[in-house]
Structure 1
């Protein structure tokens, strides 16, 4: 007897972004275009506003704390959206409690609050990938 497996539709996109001032803008724009295309006529895998904010924070960290370009990967499978941002810098992100008057320093805390899971992975080339997974509510 043959059993049928349910097919899970997976959609992926990958973008190489330069180390530039406007990189965060383009990362958000590409994420919006990707999600618009993926969720056309379907249920969103996660809140798009959460995805935009996570992409913004992770890409901004690369442009602010490294001299590296970055690679943005987006993947939708079933009811999950995975956001990955890779760079060539081996330094791992540091969580630091911001002082009340600080204007920055909360990005990773925001990502952790919005994402279902967050992982930091070393890449074979000596850099790192930060992966945030968002699930449908």
Structure 2
């Protein structure tokens, strides 16, 4: 299922390249998927993704052309969507929207000295 069809960008079953990741890497990947999916489904124009890694924090930023800020909503038991920002709230350290409403961001604390993504070797 793709974002254009109301789902996340990555399949829930994962992929072979993702085997062996840490829980933090899995959480970051899920939040990236949710925020980009929201930008594609609810945004306007191009959707941009920026990942910053200063010191002990990773900051994910997704930008689109829609000035209406992302906001959490209540999803009913039978609703197929509407829980993405709830997942972001649970998984990320913090999340928010810039004052112009065009960028939704989430941060994750990275423990120092502990690998959060498997090495390529």
| TM-score in terms of structure 2 length | 0.69
Shift, 1:93, TM fit: 1.4
Name the counterpart of 1:109: 86
Indicate conservation of the 8 Å contact 2:94/2:107, yes or no: yes
SS in 1 for 2:30: helix
Name the counterpart of 1:83: 60
**Poorly superposed stretches of 4+, deviation over 4 Å:** none
Name the counterpart of 2:110: 136
Task: Name the structure where strand makes up a greater proportion of residues.
Answer: 1
Indicate conservation of the 8 Å contact 1:62/1:68, yes or no: no
Structure 2: distance between partners of 1:110 and 1:131: 13
> Given the alignment of the two structures, is residue 66 of structure 1 paired with residue 66 of structure 2, yes or no?
no
Name the counterpart of 2:14: none
> Given the alignment of the two structures, is residue 120 of structure 1 paired with residue 120 of structure 2, yes or no?
no
Structure 1: distance between partners of 2:28 and 2:51: 10
| TM-score in terms of structure 1 length | 0.62
Shift, 1:78, TM fit: 1.8
| Count of aligned pairs between the two proteins | 98
Unaligned runs of at least 5 residues, structure 2: 11-17, 112-121
Larger radius of gyration between Structure 1 and Structure 2: 1
Structure 2: distance between partners of 1:101 and 1:64: 20
Shift, 1:111, TM fit: 0.5
Unaligned runs of at least 5 residues, structure 1: 1-19, 26-31, 37-43
SS in 2 for 1:69: coil
RMSD of equivalent CA atoms: 2.7
5 Å-filtered alignment, 1:29-48, equals 47-48=24-25
